[in-house]
Amino acid sequence: MSEQLTFDQVYLYDIRLAGISIPVKLQCGSVAIDVEAKLDTGSTNCVFKRDQGELLGIDVDSGLPQLMRTVAGDFLTYAHEVTLIVLGIETITTVYFAADENFSRNVLGRQGWLDRVRLGLVDYDGKLYLSAYDDHA
């Protein structure tokens, strides 16, 4: 039995680079910044560098603290609600900004992003297919 999916967006990424990087716009109020984030289906949450929260005018340390646990070790983050725009799909969600200024990665995880989209991936071709979850085109 086969099944067919349709998607609104096709994004070509460079398969020669480590990971799958996707352009992301973070917005808080009237301030918006463009960043790049790694697709990480193993990450529970969306995590961003501290300075990106600060560029949005957020007092990062005022958010709800959350300790993230990974195989590489634990690190502290702070939760904040932002608008997340990925390949034209906009959602208001909670993301986590790292407490440590040396944290060097942005990650799109399952809660707050992946649970809100339909995603297809053909890594051999470097193609990422994306639609909003509730878009039944």
Average pLDDT, integer, range 28-47: 96
Is residue 1 in some structural domain? Answer: no
Is residue 49 in some structural domain? Answer: yes
Dihedral, 121, 7, 21, 77 alpha carbons, nearest 10 = -100
Domains in the chain, number: 1
pLDDT digits (tens, 9 = 90+) for 87-110: 999 999 999 999 999 999 999 999
For 103, the domain range is 23-132
The pLDDT value given to residue 127: 97
Q: The tokens 């390949």 sit on which residue?
A: 87
Average pLDDT along the chain: 94
What global pTM score does this model have?
0.92
Strands 64-70 and 107-108: unpaired
CATH code, domain with 55? 2.40.70.10
